Structure 1
Amino acid sequence: MNSLTARRAVWYWNKNGKPGRMPFPNPPRAFEHKFVPDFQKLQQNRDAIVRSCQLRGDKQADVNKVMQLHDRWTTLDAEIQKQTTARMKSASVDEAREVKVKINALTAEHKETETELIQEASKIPNEIHPDAPESTPRLVYTSNHPISNDVVDHITLGKELDLFDLQQCASVTGDKFVYLKNEASVLELALIHWSVNFLIERGFTVVSPPDLIRQRVATACGFSPKDSDLCLTGTAEIPLTALYANRIIPDEIMPIKMVGFSHCFRMEPPSNTNKGIYRLHQFSKVEMVMICKPEESERRHQEMLEIQKEMVEQLDIPYQVLDMPVHDLGATACRKYDIEAWMPHRKGYGEITSLSNCLDYQSRRLGIKYRYESKPHEEFYAHTLNGTAVAVPRVLCAILENCQSEGKIHIPKALHPHSMGLKEIVFK
C-alpha cells in the first residue's frame, strides 16, 4: 500500500470482530452527476433493447428517437469543430465574426439536443438477461421443510399475545403502520442483529445509512420519488449504493460488499390479500449491496442468492426460489430472483427477499467507476447488485406461523444468541 492510499484508509470490522485497515476511494464530490449512456451498446444491441422495452411494457422509452438525437448531436459536434477550425483560418475580422455567430448558434442547438438526448436516454430500461423468463416466474428451488395450514395465523397471535397493535397505530399515524410489542419487538431486534452479524462474517462491511435522500439520488438509482428535494427512502439499496457515487474505486478492493439496516417507506396500494403486518408503509429491513467488476456480476449474483438461501434455511421456514419474469424487473434490473416463504394466512407463498443484478444501470447514473493501478488513466463503470437480507415484518409472519407446535412458537435456534433469552412463545 503506497503512502497516498494509506492516508485514505479507514477502519472497518473484519470477520473476527477485530479492527482492520481497508483502502478507500478518492474523497467524494457533491452529487451532481450527468448520466452517461452507452451509445455504442445501444447501437449494437438496438433490436434487443427495443424488445426489452416491449416485454417490460415500457411505453415511455423510445430507442429510435434516442439514436436520431444522438446522430443529430454527433453531426452538430462535428460541424462546431469544423467551424472553429474555419474561424482560426479566417482571412479577415469580419469573416471571423460571421463564423463566430454560426458557432454560437450551433453550440446552442448542440446543448439543447444534448439535454433532450440525455433525458430520453435515461428512460431506456436495463437490458434483459437471456435466461430471464418472459411471462411467468420460473421455479428454481423448493425447500424440503414441511408445509402446514393447520396453524394460528399471525393476526390472531398478534391480538391474543399482544405482539403488535395495528389499530392504535392507525389512530396515531395511519393505516398500514404498526407498533411491534413484547416478543415481536424482541424478535425484530434479534433478526436485525443476527442478519448483520451473519453478513459481517461473510466479508460484508456494516453501514448505517440515512433514511432521507435527495430526489436526484433516488432517480439515479432507478426510483421515481415525488417532487421534493428530500424524500424518505424505500430501501437501503439507494443510500448504500450512493455511498460510492462520483467515486473511483481502486480495483484491488473490489468487490465492495455492504450490509445496512434502515427503515423503509412505501406507498403500498390497498389489498384484501395483504392483511396483518405482511405489507406496511414503514418497516425495518436489512439490505445487502455489492459493487463489482462487470465480468464478476453474474457470479456475484449467484453468490448472493446462496447467502439468502442459507439465511432462510437457518430460520426453519418453508420457501421457494423464483427467477422473476421480465415484467417484474422494473427499469433497473437485468435479472431478479425472489425468495418466497410459505404464509399460511395467505394460503400460499409470499415474497420475503428479492435480489437484483443492475449491471451498469445505476453506476452510469451515479458515476461509480473503478480503476486498475496498472492503468491509472482509464476508468470503467462498475456493476451494482442489491438484495434483501431480512424484511422484518414478513419474516416475523413466516416465523410466527410456520414455527408452531404443541401450543408454542419455537424461535429458530439461529436467533437464540440474539433474542435476549427468548426461545419460545406459549399461546395455548
Structure 2
Amino acid sequence: MTASCSMVDFNTGLLEFLYSSPTAFHATKNIAGKLLAASFIPLYEGDIWQLEPGKRYLVMRNDSSIIAFVYGKSPLLDSGIRMLGAHTDSPCLKVKPRAELNRRGYFQLGVEVYGGALLAPWYDRDLSMAGRVTYRDQSDQIASALVDFERPVAVVPSLAIHLDREANNARSINAQKDIVPLLLQLPAEDAALPDFRGLLHAELLRQQPDLAIKQVLDYEISLYDTQPPAIIGFEQDFIASARLDNLLSCFIGLQALLEADDQVSSLLICTDHEEVGSASCCGAKGPMLQQFLERLLPDGETRARVIERSMMISADNAHGIHPNFMDKHDENHGPLLNRGPVIKVNANQRYATTSETSAFFRLLCEAAEVPVQEFVARTDMGCGSTIGPVVASEVGVKTIDVGSPTFAMHSIRELAGARDGWYLYKAAVEFFSYSKAPFALISRS
C-alpha cells in the first residue's frame, strides 16, 4: 500500500505533535484526539467489551499509555496481528512532592532526574512546566486535569566560567545541588515561599475557569524547553526538537495506523516509563498489552495461535554515527541520518531482533522503496535497550527493534534526519496493509 502523506506534510504534523506534547500525558491525549477524530471507538477497562471485526478501538491507561486497534475483517488466525510499539516518556526533570526552596531570597523547585537525562544541555534554557494535577473537586471527589504553563517560567543558570575555570575540562554535575530550577526572586530573603500547589491551582483555573477545584492534592509535573521544534540545516536536512526519543516513533505509528487496511488487524501501543525500565501498570513490562489480547481472544489456545502468526515492530530511536565521535561506533555499523530506518541487533538480547524478523522488515522496506541500515554496538561498549525485548518476553510475539538514527539522544534537544521519520512511516504503512500472516513466506520444513 502506498503511503498517502508526503514528507513535507508528515514533518509538518510531526512538529505540531512534538510542540503540543511536553509530557507523556499530553502526548497520549493528542494521540487519542487524532484517533477519535478518525472514528476510533473509546474503550474503558472497567466496562464489558464487545469487540467487532471491521471496527476501530482505543483504550488508555494512566492517561499516559494507549493502545489503538484496527480489528480487521480477515480472521485473526489467517492474518495474525501487526503490532507497532513505542513509548511516550522522555528523560526530563520532575518536580518533587515538597519542592519549594528559598535560597538567598530566590524561589527554586527541587527536582528529580527522570531517566538517563543528559544534564548539561538543561542549563540556560527557557523552561516551562507541564503534567497532570490531581485535585479534590467541590463535591469532595478526586479528579485529574492536565496543565501546561506554556510560557517560560523557570531557568537553570550556569555558573560563570570565572568561578569554575575547569568547567570546560572536568566539570561534573551534582543532580541534587547543581540542576535546581530558579522561578522568581522573593521580595526579601526571609519572605514566605509561594505554595507550588497553589500555583498549579491558579494556573488550572486560568486555563479552565469552569474547573471545580477545591484543593490540589498531588501532581506529576515536568520541566521542558520552550524552544519549539524546527527543521534546520543549510539544506533543511535535520529536525531539532525535545522528545524525539520517542515521540517521533509514536507519531510514525499513529500516522501509519490511521491508514491501516481494514481487512487485516493492526495494533499500536505507546507505553509510559520506558526510560526507567517499563515496570509499571502502564509500562511495557506491565500487563496492559497482555490483558488487551486476553480480552480480544479469551480462549488461550486461540490466542497463542494468533500470537504465533503475529509480529511486533518495536520503534525507538537509534544512535546515528556522530561525525565528531566516530570511534564510538562499530566500524561497519554506523547509521547515517537521512539514510533510512535502522535495524538494531544485539547478541545479548538488549534488542529483540531475529534473522526472521529483520528479513521480513527488509522486505517491507523494499516494497515501500525505503533504504535500511543496521546498528550493532561496539563489542567493548554497553548497549541501550527498549520495549522490544520486554514485549517479546511478556507476550511471546516475534519482534524486531528498529528506529530512526538520532544525534544527542536524551538531550533536552535532539537531532534527527528530516527524511528518516517519513521513511519509517512508509515502511509502517506497508506493514499495516500486509495481507498475510507476517511469516507466511517462511518455510518450516
Is TM > 0.5 for Structure 1 vs Structure 2? no
- The structure with the larger Rg is 1
Q: TM-score, normalised by structure 2?
A: 0.25
- Structure with more helix by fraction: 1
TM-score by length of 1: 0.26
Bigger relative CO (Cα 8 Å, ≥ 6 apart): 2
